[in-house]
Chain A
Amino acid sequence: MNWPPAPRHRRAAIGLLTLIVAAGVALLVTAGLHGTLVYYRTPSELATRPATGQRVRLGGQVVPGSVRREGPLTRFDLTDGERRVVVVQRGGVRGTLREGEGAVVEGSLATDGVFHADRVEVKHSNEYRAPGADPTRAGAG
């Protein structure tokens, strides 16, 4: 094919590229609307609208003292200050899961009220402190 292409081909190429870009944007946007804009639900929202069996994301603070590792399972509670949900994660938790800090889990709520997660995303605060720095500022999260 000679360059520059004939106007007909050019129009086809522009159409094709527009289509690819539009498809890419549409893919990202629909994926986004499925759960990105409300990236996670809070324990209170899960309590008022229990999506039992559905795959959802749940976000909250890890309740201090609740993290337990039982064989292949990791258990902890997530709270938004009002409600508390027991989370069971199969396998270990990567990242920097810490009590009192935020986390987002992905999975589904069982009928017994336990949230079975298979993906844990650990939130971190926007604070950066040296180890041993003034803890009143560093731990505020």
Chain B
Amino acid sequence: MAGDRPAHLDRGPAAAGRRNLGWFAAGVGGAGLVSGLFVAPPDAVQGDAARLMYLHVPAAWTAYLAYAVVLVASAAYLGRRDLRFDRYAQAAAEIGVGMTALTIAIGGIWGRAVWGVWWAWDPRVVSTALLLVVYAAHLAVRRMDADPHRGARRAAVLGIAGFAMLPVVHFSVVWWRSLHQPATVLGPSTDPPIDPVMLATLTLCLGAFIATASWLFLHRVQSLRAAGQEPRRDAAGRHRVPARSAR
């Protein structure tokens, strides 16, 4: 079984699959870049600033997807108590936190260009920042105990509870008065109010983001598995017996 082979010897079909996924992500990303910069028209009101949509929106949706993976992996860990699921949750949460940070950063630039301000104490912006804090805490609690199972259990509980933030973030623009505009594509309308070429470009960029995130996820899971097989070292660099759970 491939899963039993030491990680540094993993040159099998799984590694080839990851490489192919990497090339696919690079290809779709290149096409998205060209389409976003040159093919898609500027917005009638916002001009070229609307092109930031092709980064901001896929980053936010990829973060949503990553947090859904954290939810499922956390539930699987609590059910099976297998650290493999904890590694899935960790890899997904790291990607989610990165994507959320990217969403906020690009949103700030877009906000400066169109709203006129870098930051606003707006429900959408504030709830997104809270989402970042919750999943950063999820990553932190995992490492705060020497027993990996205890850390994994706490992280899993937070990974499941934190998902409750997601609908708050998404519907904040509907529930409360907001500076942020309501959803264009993930809204109730069956005919999204967006130019078809822009929508196609957005779809292409979303594909690139999800492929890249999947590629990062597989690599991260692989390296976490490899790290778990090495003898642990203490702060002085001495080898130490891997911590085994009492369970």
Interface string of B108-121 (1 = CB under 8 A from A): 00001111110011
Min distance, Cβ B179 to any Cβ of chain A, angstroms: 5
Min distance, Cβ B228 to any Cβ of chain A, angstroms: 16
Contacts from A to B (Cβ < 8 Å): 1-4, 10, 13-14, 17, 21, 24-25, 28, 31-32, 34-40, 59, 93-98, 101, 104, 119-133, 137-138
Partner among A10, A32, A132 whose Cβ is within 8 Å of the Cβ of B121: A32
Q: Which of B178, B194, B198 has the most CB of A within 10 A?
A: B178
B140 touching A17 by the CB < 8 A rule? yes
A36 touching B193 by the CB < 8 A rule? no
A2 touching B133 by the CB < 8 A rule? no
Residues on B with C-beta less than 8 A from A31 are: 121, 126
Cα-based distance from A123 to B145 in the complex (angstroms)? 46
For residue B157, CB closer than 8 A to chain A, the reply is: no
Interface string of B169-192 (1 = CB under 8 A from A): 000000011110111100100000
A128 touching B133 by the CB < 8 A rule? no
Min distance, Cβ B77 to any Cβ of chain A, angstroms: 20
B114 touching A129 by the CB < 8 A rule? no
Min distance, Cβ B222 to any Cβ of chain A, angstroms: 24
Additional pairs, 14, CB under 8 Å, beyond known A131-B44, A133-B44, A138-B44: A25-B130, A28-B130, A31-B121, A32-B121, A32-B126, A36-B121, A39-B179, A121-B116, A127-B184, A128-B194, A128-B198, A129-B45, A130-B195, A137-B193
For residue B160, CB closer than 8 A to chain A, the reply is: no
If over half of A's interface residues share one DSSP class (helix, strand or loop), that class is named, otherwise mixed; here it is: loop
Interface positions of B from 122 to 140, Cβ below 8 Å from A: 122-123, 126, 129-130, 133, 137, 140
Residues on B with C-beta less than 8 A from A98 are: 45
Residues on A with C-beta less than 8 A from B42 are: 130-131
With both beta carbons as reference points, the residue of chain A lying nearest to B154 in the complex is identified as A14
> Contacts A37-B176, A121-B179, A130-B41; is A94 near B112 (CB within 8 Å)?
yes
Instruction: Count B-side interface residues using an 8 Å CB cutoff.
Output: 48
Contacts from B to A (Cβ < 8 Å): 41-47, 49-50, 53, 112-117, 120-123, 126, 129-130, 133, 137, 140-141, 144-146, 176-179, 181-184, 187, 193-195, 197-198, 234-236, 243
B177 touching A40 by the CB < 8 A rule? yes
A104 touching B179 by the CB < 8 A rule? yes
B123 touching A36 by the CB < 8 A rule? yes
Cα-based distance from A35 to B44 in the complex (angstroms)? 31
Cα-based distance from A133 to B47 in the complex (angstroms)? 13
Residues on B with C-beta less than 8 A from A97 are: 116
B116 touching A95 by the CB < 8 A rule? yes
A124 touching B45 by the CB < 8 A rule? yes
Min distance, Cβ A124 to any Cβ of chain B, angstroms: 5
B121 touching A122 by the CB < 8 A rule? no
Min distance, Cβ B152 to any Cβ of chain A, angstroms: 15
Cα-based distance from A34 to B122 in the complex (angstroms)? 11
> Contacts A4-B146, A125-B181; is A37 near B197 (CB within 8 Å)?
no
Residues on A with C-beta less than 8 A from B120 are: 39, 104, 121
Residues on B with C-beta less than 8 A from A125 are: 45, 181, 193
Cα-based distance from A119 to B116 in the complex (angstroms)? 9
With both beta carbons as reference points, the residue of chain B lying nearest to A31 in the complex is identified as B121
Partner among B116, B144, B198 whose Cβ is within 8 Å of the Cβ of A10: B144
B115 touching A39 by the CB < 8 A rule? no
Partner among B141, B181, B236, B243 whose Cβ is within 8 Å of the Cβ of A124: B181
> Contacts A39-B121, A122-B116; is A13 near B144 (CB within 8 Å)?
yes
Residues on A with C-beta less than 8 A from B236 are: 2
